[in-house]
Amino acid sequence: MIMTVNAGAIPADHWTQDPAVGGGRLVGEGCHFIDLLRHLAGAPLLSLHATRMGGGRPDTVSLQLQFDEGSIGTIHYLANGSKSFPKERLEVFAGGGVLQLDNFRRLQGFGWKGFDSMKLWRQDKGRKACAAAFRRAITHGASPPIPLQELLEVTSWRIRAQEAVQ
């Protein structure tokens, strides 16, 4: 799995860049991509290696993830790209095929029999569906949409990633 995030530059004095207020960009936004790859792998993280671009703030980083069932993933969180380039792209290589998701609006399949592409009118990152599942879990006493252990696991790895790029 390869997640590329063309996050764009944010000024050094912006609240998201302040570790005491916003926690930094890896804490505030980058963590969601660790969540996403963890969800897609369907297995706990075994290791994480974080590399930061030299100089400046830790908002241009590459994370290499290894999962318990054998999958690997890379997250390129970049603040030094052009706004004319798409913001988010996920590529999943599996079963002899590739799925490419651009900006959570267009999905293309390569090597998948019977599937070529799909487009959405609006971007859908699953926030509404997740909130609805959480609400159902609360009101009906069901299991949460994301198990607590998984949330704690990803949080622990996110903290390690942040510490590695500081």
Entry field: residues in the chain: 166
pLDDT tens-digit series, residues 32-59? 899 999 999 999 999 999 999 887 677 8
Q: What is the mean pLDDT of residues 111-125?
A: 85
Q: Which of 64-68, 98-102, 115-119 comes out lowest in average pLDDT? A: 115-119
| Residue 72 exposed, middle or buried by CB count within 10 Å (0-12, 13-18, 19+) | middle
pLDDT at 11: 86
pLDDT band at 21 (very low <50, low <70, confident <90, very high): confident
pLDDT at 94: 95
| CATH fold label, 2-85+126-165 | Dihydrodipicolinate Reductase; domain 2 (3.30.360)
pLDDT at 55: 73
pLDDT band at 144 (very low <50, low <70, confident <90, very high): confident
pLDDT at 75: 96
Q: What is the mean pLDDT of residues 112-120?
A: 89
pTM of the shown model: 0.88
Distance CA 106, CA 100 (A): 8
pLDDT band at 25 (very low <50, low <70, confident <90, very high): confident
Q: What is the mean pLDDT of residues 66-72?
A: 97
